[in-house]
Amino acid sequence: MDYFEYREGQLWAEEVRVAELVERFGTPLYIYSAKTLTRHFLAFDAALKGLDHLTCFSVKANSNVNLLRHLGTLGAGVDIVSGGELYRAVRAGIAPAKIVFSGVGKQAHEIREALSAGILMFNVESSQELECIGRIAQEMQTVARISIRINPDVDPKTHPYISTGLKENKFGLDMLEATGAYLMARKHPFLDPVGMDCHIGSQLTQIGPIVEALEKLLVFTDRLHASGIAIRYLDLGGGLGITYDDEQPPLPADLGRAISTALAGRELTVILEPGRAIAGNAGIMVTRVLYTKKTPMKHFVIVDAAMNDLVRPSLYGAYHRICEVTPTDRGLMTVDVVGPICESGDFLAQNRLLPALAPGDTLAVFSAGAYGFSMASQYNSRPRSAEVLVDGEKSLLVRRRETYEDLIALEVE
């Protein structure tokens, strides 16, 4: 459920007309709904009530500091995958004790930064990384809490680019190697093996694979317990899917129930790392039609947003619902919605049935709050769009539109 809806013949973001935001801030424009973020975060929080738990928003889904601050005030922790995300999280006021650090390629300086900040734990993805963290913790004379990311070898049944828990993926350790890593960590004076984690993929539309992974992890924690290693945190990653088109993904409450059942009688703190499920449908991207064009094969609608603004359609063939900001009753046509970038892969939608559009019309691209702006680039020297956070009747510019000067600000002339 989100707070973008059509009323009085036009699209609203909460209590603000999208057309008004377009007038004020121009296009392309990302618009987020604070109320939707709150609702989605609280759904996870409520799903795990009764269990010790921490919901760590995955910063890579949407890393705007203002948005992180909003989630932080609700009690969210964060899952980070770089020193840059740590910097953002700290700036946003997220308590270090609620930060977990994932990612296969943590660099020494990032590990040092995270240890200085005093994060909750590192989700370790290789034996060499574990040794590296141990060495740095020793140098800094501080104990690093670690969790080993297990590759449970389950098929998440999602897009191959976003499935991460199969044995051919680069993520995590298999259980045999993980056993060695835990034993090494137990002996190390500056490593404290407190957790176990997994993240099997993204845009999951079934709960089965997560539960299957969870059960494998529980068997493993029992085995470790017998070797004197007591796991206190069980981090099941993110990955819950959202409705882009007609998917019917499980709800946080469904996941919560499955986890509660599986964990009955155990003293574990559960961590979840949702990104998409919190932010995805809390954001839209608005774009303006520049031209329409008919070729012998197709009708094209050329808009002012492109793959540099929202790459998901180009990268994954992802579907995003697209509708007029101010609906008309014009006849429907099958069109490709494309951007100005010099790549044939630059499209927002292909073979889409839309009302006949004309230059100047504005379109809302839905489900753009996760992996939208955070994956944006300046390709073709296009300044990145502005971002606005709406809260009730208020709207706050949380990132101004980039300028031409911004494009070359870091270049040495």
Q: Which residues are annotated as a binding site for pyridoxal 5'-phosphate?
A: 239, 273-276, 371
Quote the tokens at residue 73: 């005030």
For the bound state, the minimum distance from the C-beta of residue 242 to ligand PLP, rounded and expressed in Å, comes to 9
| Residues 217 and 8: beta-carbon distance below 8 Å | no
Q: Is 342 a catalytic residue?
A: yes
Q: In a 3-state reduction of DSSP, which class is residue 339?
A: coil
Binding of ligand PLP by 283 (CB under 6 A):
no
24 closest CA partner among 281, 403, 406, 396 = 396
User: What part of residues 218-237 is at the interface with ligand PLP (CB under 6 A)?
Assistant: 237
Instruction: Tell me the C-alpha to C-alpha distance, in Å, between residue 22 and each of 18, 317, 327.
Output: 6, 27, 15
Residue from 165, 275, 339, 369 binding ligand PLP (CB under 6 A): 275
Q: In terms of residues, how long is the chain?
A: 413
User: 238 vs 339, which CB is nearer to ligand PLP?
Assistant: 238
Binding of ligand PLP by 274 (CB under 6 A):
yes
Q: What are phi and psi of 338, to 5 degrees?
A: -125, 160
Rounded Cα distance, 369 and 398, in Å: 14
Binding of ligand PLP by 194 (CB under 6 A):
no
Binding of ligand PLP by 29 (CB under 6 A):
no
Binding of ligand PLP by 53 (CB under 6 A):
no
User: What part of residues 344-363 is at the interface with ligand PLP (CB under 6 A)?
Assistant: none
Rounded Cα distance, 307 and 371, in Å: 12
User: 72 vs 275, which CB is nearer to ligand PLP?
Assistant: 275
Rounded Cα distance, 52 and 401, in Å: 41
- Neighbour tally for 249: CB within 10 Å: 20
27 closest CA partner among 332, 273, 361 = 361
Binding of ligand PLP by 60 (CB under 6 A):
yes
User: 167 vs 400, which CB is nearer to ligand PLP?
Assistant: 167
Catalytic residue among 56, 132, 323, 342: 342
Residue from 239, 249, 252, 339 binding ligand PLP (CB under 6 A): 239
Alpha helical stretches, state H, 199-338 = 208-226, 252-263, 276-279, 312-316
Residue from 277, 301, 354, 368 binding ligand PLP (CB under 6 A): 277
For the bound state, the minimum distance from the C-beta of residue 115 to ligand PLP, rounded and expressed in Å, comes to 19
Please list the active-site residues.
Answer: 342
Q: Which residues bind ligand PLP (CB under 6 A)?
A: 58, 60-61, 79, 102, 199, 202, 237-239, 273-277, 370
